[in-house]
Chain A
């Protein structure tokens, strides 16, 4: 037993670290004794019954039946069993091996027949819901909790796990940020959690907080480095959303909690699973832009609109029709630029998972490598990840465990977004003149390998972006924890977890001179540009907890936990930019012109500590009450904060919650009721949000340079009352299930009130600062979540389907100012009381003036950019003059759209037939408005950029009936200003994933199973959205949702994969 000794030594070392050494050594020599359960005195009644298969009626043998851990029995070959129970009002557990199949309330019956469906047997063990500190059978859960089982998700793409759980839980709105690999999704649980503080849910992986902050963000425009992309979906067992009861996490739980449970050894046999897939990513359907034959006349009209005479326009070099003149071949092409930047690409993934162990130590080790590409040429994501999860039974009473994960990912990408249109390959792919070509032609018309520079219209060469720009994110994260648990006796235990997060996120980019339009810097013309950033986070986390549980009599079950958590973080960010290096071959930060160098830095240290208690009580497994309270302190809170209690001269927030459930279906009077489950739930909880920046309670200074004198100036106004946002959640729910859970139904109604909401109070000009951060707002989210599951077929073909829908309304109740207008990509969103936050705010339109008479009779005027008043003319957009003053200006803006969906969610279908398995998952969003910035650019008709084909409809002739205005260089009448023309219905229904797999029969001696599968992702999207893709979310902030700034779109992929189990 050498191995065993090694385990023991390891465990001992571990225990010393955890400070349990003394206790454990003492226990090691203790004898293992089996004692009769003292509770057996309650076993007064005998239950008899029979277990059969629901489908065939055949008796089932070997099914376990138990009442708590007091009595247990198995069904015999006739399916019959006998079990002693304390009362016929209790509930017994049916299990298959170690896995619980279901609980059966006796409802006063002394003899029962249990018909188990195939589904129930197959789903054995999956009915457990992961809660922060325990697992519970789903129908004992009192809060609004959704669990997504991901054990079958291994067929999907490995890039970022969000795709697997998007749309799978009601009330969780996950919006994938973009098609950029690994970017993941922005998650909003039950509406908008905060205006200015963090609005993202807390992510907890295996009991430890997983840092999801973006800090100062990326230096690469349009990119968000997503920590979840470090986790391969094959490592995740399940994901649990705590939608209401986040108060156990105190000031971290306001936006809901996502608990991610990674896979551990399921049993002690050694399993080796090898996974691999190869994938093809299909290029998105090109957006309809003008081709050369149509763009050329358009261009010529645009020249005329700029004021060029016909002769001047005709002599423009791009319109020269004489073949033997200089440049003719450069200007007479028909290039499909979208094809120049996008193409079909390929993915590979290898993943090995080894699990096993013995009764002392069990482990799961996984190693994976992913090489993935997007449809934009040159964009890729490669990740290597290792995870080691182990559990040790050191002594009978002392257990320990470890979770360790290390990932390194390199993302090659480009910059996207409205601020970097001149280097965004996708944007350039649309606007670049189709008659130009990526490479230079000789006078004889022979194409050279040299790329053309940016053209004389000021548009960069997209090919040069593809070939010569660089943008890379290199990030690693170590995320590991040790935990130990000492079970003093049946009732008392003490456990502790200690973990580390070490994260380093490096980025660099280079924008070349060749092929890229020069920019005007503040002091110079910027030819090429270099940038870099390093973000380093070191974070420790500990969670120590004392547990007590007992059953008083047989009916009163009580659990109590008391604990303390501590989280300390240290962050440093350094960012540098450099410009105009000598040639495009010098691409490091040191090679730019020294006087132009820019450097920024940010450091932060913050601490969060939390005392918490959670108590749960249930009576006869029918009445459940959970009470939680967390008392949280944070270095971010001001000493004079109004709320909370004072401890150690600091302010601590107190976050209580209470939730209860009544399992009506287990009542004796429901004996004749065919429903499996009727449960009423009610909860109230208070949570907090500390997701705002550090040091707001201190007076800060920043360096400033005035007239060559260096000095410090105030950079804020200290707010020593700054505190958490309080999010009070009320939730009421009903869960229903018919017999054998053939039809399941769950509905929740909630109201989340966010008070003390952080707001930026505008300051008077004389203050010299723009804003003051204060707890001055209030906002409410109300909504309904609905989940339906149905087992439609349960024969040879088994089919179950599920539907998850959520709806919410958001309303800002109180603000310390009248309105906040936030500009986004040429548009604006407004936040005012009485409306949802961040509504689109712009002009209403009513078609266009088709005749001059119409324009004259309307008599409206508008200001040009230079401030002159000009009348609208035929072909201009008819803007609605809201205040009837005859002038279209700022005061005519109104709310023109709501980015929040009416409904969102997803539905799934899972079918099996013999050895085939079929899975389909749809996600949808309905009724959300989106601002199509790209279309605004592509239909503005104000410059030499190529446009959508739809501008063919533009107004040209007096009396022409159309909804597309005239072309006008510089858009003097502001026809393309932010208006309802650009706000579209962003509803979509998407076949998110579709898998078909086949288990190849193997003899099982060496190879245990072989599974081949084909999987598709984003294969079908039904939408009316006029863009590449209707799903995008470029920021995690509430301001900016539903704005398509031109990030790379989601794309369709098909994978062929293989799983071999040894």
Chain B
């Protein structure tokens, strides 16, 4: 009798214990895949065994088991012809495998409206479309997609994609090219840290940035020579032999474009410095696809000089120096004014009060000088002011009256800049302390290059 009850009790306890674990098991019950991390999931597909081995060889399997990733794993068949330049080189293998692993979860449905740029583990960026993944110029189609793992998504793809070098690396490789040499020589030493850096990367574009896309134009020797010859007069400086920094930048800045035009390049494209450049496909000598863009080797560089050497506009309110106290200097909000501000200096009681504007971007060429200065308040009764060049006593254009309600640019005169960047424009008041006469007003100054 007691035995019987003992059995009952045991049964109850057994049911109890099993019930205890069941409630969570049932609730947490996930499709088998979801209990596996990506490495386990890849292992579970026999057709991905080569890729799985490569993962282990490259040492990326550890990273892949924690963190959120998307894997586009090529099939064994696709990987059969993997060149030994990749398999034999540890670094290359890591880059290669990393080219098939994207950070975070990327599901194909997310790309059904527009492609999704996916940051890959090797730093490159691939593009996910609803039915394919593209690494620069290589695309792979999905044998299956969106297989969910515990820490990410697995796709099986029909081909592998070799990681490309970025433009900066391409540039370094093409060391025979004059542009490459020019860019690589654009180095500077930081006076504080004594570290050398390339100012092209800072001032124009960091072509090694994998997250951005660029089109970069390289010129062959002849084209470069022509281009340089055209540019040199505008970048005159006092250092005879060395190539100056403004010239280097002037030569290179308009070779970089922020979109990667792998194909169908428009006939006019805008450089990073917003200079329009004509693109003639017939001038392309060579095209090099890089991971973050495309490099075109060209035998001609076609641009408009007026774009390259643009007019310069100097807002009156952005002065560099004033000759007296700042008390009488007013920056007014004016709806008609450029940048909706202008400068008014009045009641300063100082003869020859002047305001200085440096023009570091002035090219070594002849400019026509205009101003827009508007006496909109009929105050003072007469407002005469003049422009001095470089020194306050150098007044080649004499005094000019500022007219009432004149919103037209007024031609002041011409000036030839001797060296690049060496120009100072000074707005000078009358040499009187009478406040009826010595007011200064300026919306902006404009320098228009004169091409002969």
- What is the interface of chain A, defined by CB distance below 8 A to chain B? 285, 287-288, 292-294, 296-298, 300-301, 304, 310-311, 313-314, 319, 321, 793, 797, 799, 852, 874, 948-950, 952-953, 956-958, 960, 989, 991, 1020-1026
Contact = CB atoms under 8 A, between A and B. Distances in A.
A950 B27 contact: yes
B119 interface: yes
Interface string B1-35: 11001000000010111011011100111110011
Contact of A952 (B20, B69, B146, B150): B150
The 5 closest A-B pairs by CB, nearest first: A297-B68, A958-B109, A297-B151, A300-B68, A957-B146
A1024 B19 contact: yes
A991 B34 CA distance: 36
A296 B19 contact: no
Interface string B150-161: 111100000000
A953 B28 CA distance: 7
A981 to B, nearest CB: 12
A321 B103 CA distance: 13
A311 B63 CA distance: 17
12 contacts: A293-B65, A296-B68, A297-B69, A310-B104, A319-B67, A793-B2, A852-B109, A950-B27, A952-B35, A953-B29, A953-B30, A953-B34
A918 to B, nearest CB: 11
Given A296-B151, A948-B28, A1026-B24, 19 more contacts: A285-B20, A296-B67, A297-B152, A301-B105, A310-B118, A311-B211, A314-B119, A793-B1, A949-B24, A956-B107, A956-B153, A960-B148, A991-B16, A1020-B16, A1021-B16, A1023-B19, A1024-B22, A1025-B23, A1026-B23
A884 B118 CA distance: 41
B104 A1021 contact: no
Contacts, number: 103
Contacts of B37: 293
Contacts of A304: 104-105
B109 A300 contact: no
A292 B63 CA distance: 13
Chain B contact surface mostly: mixed
A1025 B20 CA distance: 9
Contacts of A313: 103-104
B20 A288 contact: no
Nearest to A955: B148
Interface in B148-189: 148, 150-153
Interface of B: 1-2, 5, 13, 15-17, 19-20, 22-24, 27-31, 34-35, 37, 63, 65-69, 103-105, 107-109, 118-119, 146, 148, 150-153, 211
Contacts of A1023: 19, 23
Contacts of A949: 24, 28
A952 B30 contact: yes
A294 B28 contact: no
Nearest to A797: B2
Contact of A310 (B22, B23, B119, B151): B119
B63 A294 contact: no
A797 B150 CA distance: 56
A726 to B, nearest CB: 44
Nearest to B116: A310
A304 B63 CA distance: 19
B67 A957 contact: no
B20 A1021 contact: yes
Contact of A958 (B23, B28, B66, B107): B107
Contacts of B24: 287-288, 949, 1026
Given A297-B151, A953-B34, A1024 B23 contact: yes
Contacts of B104: 300-301, 304, 310, 313
A298 B69 CA distance: 11
A804 B35 CA distance: 44
B13 to A, nearest CB: 7
A296 B20 contact: no
Contacts of A301: 68, 104-105
Nearest to B18: A1022
Nearest to A935: B27
Contacts of A300: 67-68, 103-104
B148 A310 contact: no
B19 to A, nearest CB: 5
B153 A957 contact: yes
Contacts of A991: 16
A874 B112 CA distance: 14
A1022 B16 contact: yes
A294 B150 contact: yes
B145 to A, nearest CB: 9
A852 to B, nearest CB: 7
Contacts of A296: 66-68, 151
A1023 B30 CA distance: 21
Contact of B13 (A319, A793, A1020): A1020
Given A293-B65, A296-B67, A852-B109, A288 B146 contact: no
A956 B150 contact: no
A314 B107 contact: no
Contacts of A1026: 23-24, 27
Contacts of A799: 5
A713 B36 CA distance: 65
B337 to A, nearest CB: 38
B28 A952 contact: yes
Contacts of B19: 1022-1024
Contacts of B152: 297
B109 A297 contact: no
Interface-centre pick from A319, A1022, A1025 (highest chain B CB count, 10 A): A1022
Interface-centre pick from B17, B19, B22 (highest chain A CB count, 10 A): B19
A948 B20 CA distance: 17
A957 B154 CA distance: 11
A952 B13 CA distance: 31
Contacts of A1024: 19, 22-23
Nearest to B106: A310
Contacts of B153: 956-957
A853 to B, nearest CB: 11
Contacts of A797: 1-2
Given A297-B152, A314-B103, A949-B28, A292 B66 contact: yes
Nearest to A922: B12
A958 B104 CA distance: 17
A381 B408 CA distance: 89
B50 to A, nearest CB: 25
Nearest to B147: A957
Contact of A293 (B5, B148, B151, B211): B151
Contact of B151 (A288, A294, A314, A950): A294
Nearest to B103: A310
A953 B26 CA distance: 12
B10 to A, nearest CB: 12
B66 A288 contact: no
B66 A297 contact: yes
Contacts of B107: 956-958
A571 B415 CA distance: 96
A1022 B146 contact: no
Contacts of A310: 103-104, 118-119
Contacts of B5: 799
A301 B68 CA distance: 7
A1020 B19 CA distance: 10
A1053 B108 CA distance: 53
B24 to A, nearest CB: 6
B146 A958 contact: yes
A313 B153 CA distance: 18
Given A293-B151, A310-B104, A957-B109, A950 B28 contact: yes
A353 B67 CA distance: 63
A956 B151 contact: no
Contacts of B35: 952
A426 B94 CA distance: 43
A950 B22 CA distance: 13
A540 to B, nearest CB: 50
A956 B28 contact: no
